[in-house]
A and B are shown apart, each in its own frame.
Chain A
């Protein structure tokens, strides 16, 4: 039984948009092709793009998921009294299935990268042949791992593989980085264009709304919102075909609501930019000409205004990406981000930070979470700059 989370839809949308952009950039001689030519000259940007695509691929793999039916003891499908099939509570994604070998190799607790023994000493029975003196004697030593030398980045407190946990964090990072902007794009375009094109009362009202929103301290808004809506999401229990919306769609988990509220706080910027651009476009000759020909206003907006603000949307999307990924980690760290069960770098850092005070310190959890985050954010920054320069050289100056 497939399971689609609202956040999966975001990933699918981003995936489709990427395919569409790649397709239109690769063919014909349009605007996007020129943009791509500009980016292609920058080797660093191309390398960054490849890294981003790899991250995107992992995120996509982690967003295709389905539940396996529970198999009863007699080998048949487990069914409820009413004859409904019972499915396992946890849907497994393509990534989980591909890496099930890594996922299931759990140890007892911490172990260093590629270690052969556990990180903490345990009281244990002496092994055969090593026994000294009486048979009852026990020794304290580092017990050998169940799977020695296979944990590339070590294991965490409950013995889970750190590499696997870091890979699971990728989806969360990508969803926050893209989803936040994707969710607000329709609203930002609609209101921004309306404010800029219609002017008058419409403009006043929309400006009032976004000034009000941006006057509220962003962090406070996020904290309050997450406390109110953060409880949402599927809580577990017996999973049958009936108790999910349309059988497979999960409307909103904490990650989704986090995207929504961060979208609301960052919506104002995009809306303001689009409004400004529309004000400029409205006075250009081709729009005036369309108006003189008697083209209707919705048509002018759809044909002449919206396509000409889309580059701003793209720029905002790539420029906001890195900041949002970093913000997710901070928010999860202070406990208002994604749910603690969800794989995310913020959660990894949160659970691992106190272990630094051990002697010797447990550093590999933190190090891999930070490394994975860094390896996403750095290419995003570089690629973002390249895209901005290619799409709009005028914006190169004066913006962060």
Chain B
């Protein structure tokens, strides 16, 4: 594509932006900022490559394999459909605003927030929404500084790292602690600015426990409305956790005996609703401990059979002490 100087400016940059500049409604920086919105996506950026499309399909498949999370799956389906229809609208020269995808994930530990965020990054890259699709996981200490000016520097560094992908702020409610003089508020303000300025190639996800996140959002009026996607991750039911445990075990070439399954289900049913219940993370810890105990149990035997090497028995589950 060569630059032909005789062309009318609005043919390239959109008539609305051209009009705004000519009327003096916007300055240089605002005009540069609006250039992305005024201009349809370029031919090189338009279509994700076959490899990226395959990666998106793989990420979607993995997401659908996750147990439960029906709300998340439904939201992702909506986003995918919007992008697909948006492409068709663009083909018919209809206006199609880029989707703002900043999100709030609230839920107890182990409910799949980080896992889903990682998959979404890959999915959005494959769909052409994000250019890189990587996930940068941060917490309060990565954003909040110790002296004046330090917070801005740290937060900007993290945003810079996440450009083209997703910034996942775990335990985001901790940014609201410490009162008005705390530097956490400054970090929030900078994140809000970045999510507005770079909304087309940057997704911010604030994640945390349900109750704390609700209090945090109340402390910052207007913050909640900036996140069009808010997903609550409910605790898994005992049956879902059992399914997760079986799946985790299967991936490692193990399986639970009938007695072990029954024991695990009893334990999980009893623990649900507890304050520190950590859902899938708890199941993973139980499984890892069971694998170690099985190894100890079998180590005394001479040449255990294949079935024995696979099966985790009730005795291997140290659930009383987990």
Partners in one complex: no
